[in-house]
Amino acid sequence: MATCVFIQIRCKPGSTYKVAEDIALREIHSELYSTSGEYDLLLKLYIPEDQDVGHYINEHLLVIPNIERSLTTMTFKAF
């Protein structure tokens, strides 16, 4: 079973649309939203079960230029 994570992304000023476009072109996300507040984008991502979460995010997402910071929230099946 894949691991669902939510990632908030802060972009360098003026680059949010380009970062969102680069994420969309990679086709790794389930959902992608623009947000207001401390972070610019909210990404829902399913990590394949055979992948390490940290490595997957670093290798597939955080290599995109103009990402300043990210905050990952892991999810767990509660019921």
CATH at residue 3 = 3.30.70.920
pLDDT digit string, tens, across residues 19-53: 999 999 999 999 999 999 999 999 999 999 999 99
Look at residue 77 in the predicted model and tell me its pLDDT.
84
CA distance 79 to 69: 32
- The residue range of the domain holding 25 is 1-72
Q: Indicate the number of domains in the chain.
A: 1
The answer to the question of residue 43 being in a domain is yes
The answer to the question of residue 77 being in a domain is no
Look at residue 68 in the predicted model and tell me its pLDDT.
97
The answer to the question of residue 11 being in a domain is yes
pTM: 0.91
The answer to the question of residue 79 being in a domain is no
Backbone angles phi, psi at 5, to 5 degrees: -130, 150
